[in-house]
């Protein structure tokens, strides 16, 4: 079975979401782009701008709960660039996957993308054209405009999973399915 590795630059995907005017559901990214492939790993690179920001820390914890490996680094005043971590993971893990999905716009990762393609790996780039360096786009096998997947990847209001309403008329099997899904999340 083909294996996939996901490499998500948190600053980039946040900037893309702001530009698009909608939030990305990271669980859906994981599920949709994994498809019927085996997931090797999903990396999420996050700059920590305020180590006391409870919202950011809870968000990162939620990503871990979803199955992401979170690589974070505290940044103080400097530009949040975790590209070196992404490149390191991309190159070190390449023998373990056949397809990589990268969400980043940084030009400096283009040589690493070219290197893994030279190893026979397929590299897909997910993002916005206007936020993605042309050299990086040219280095990948395929560029995927995230706007084309809004219906699939947009986070639902409230940021939580939407479950069907459980009413008196609901069949017991549906109730059991909802309860099973809730147990799996806990």
CA-based nearest residue to 66, from 54, 74, 58: 58
pLDDT in tens, 97-155: 999 999 999 999 999 999 999 999 999 999 999 999 999 999 999 999 999 988 888 88
pLDDT score recorded for residue 79:
63
pLDDT score recorded for residue 172:
47
pTM summary value: 0.81
Which overall architecture, per CATH, does domain 3-155 show?
A: 3-Layer(aba) Sandwich (3.40)
Measured CA to CA in angstroms, residue 178 lies from 32, 152, 181, 184, 185 at distances of: 21, 21, 5, 10, 11
Domain extent listing, the chain: 3-155
């Amino acid at each position: 079975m083909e294996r996939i590795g996901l490499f998500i630059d948190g600053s980039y995907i946040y900037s893309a979401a702001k530009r698009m005017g909608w939030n990305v559901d990271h669980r859906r990214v994981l599920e949709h782009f994994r498809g019927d492939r085996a997931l090797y790993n999903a990396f999420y690179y996050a700059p920590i701008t305020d180590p006391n920001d409870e919202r950011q820390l809870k968000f990162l914890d939620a990503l871990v709960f979803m199955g992401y490996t979170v690589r974070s680094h505290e940044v103080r005043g400097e530009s949040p660039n975790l590209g070196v971590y992404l490149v390191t993971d991309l190159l070190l893990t390449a023998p373990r996957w056949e397809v990589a999905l990268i969400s980043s716009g940084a030009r400096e990762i283009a040589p690493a993308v070219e290197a893994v393609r030279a190893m026979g790996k397929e590299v897909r780039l997910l993002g916005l054209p206007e936020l993605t360096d042309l050299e990086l786009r040219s280095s990948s096998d395929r560029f995927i405009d995230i706007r084309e997947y809004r219906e699939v990847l947009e986070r639902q209001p409230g940021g939580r999973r939407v479950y069907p309403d459980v009413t008196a008329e609901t069949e017991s099997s549906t109730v059991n399915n909802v309860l099973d899904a809730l147990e799996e999340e806990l």
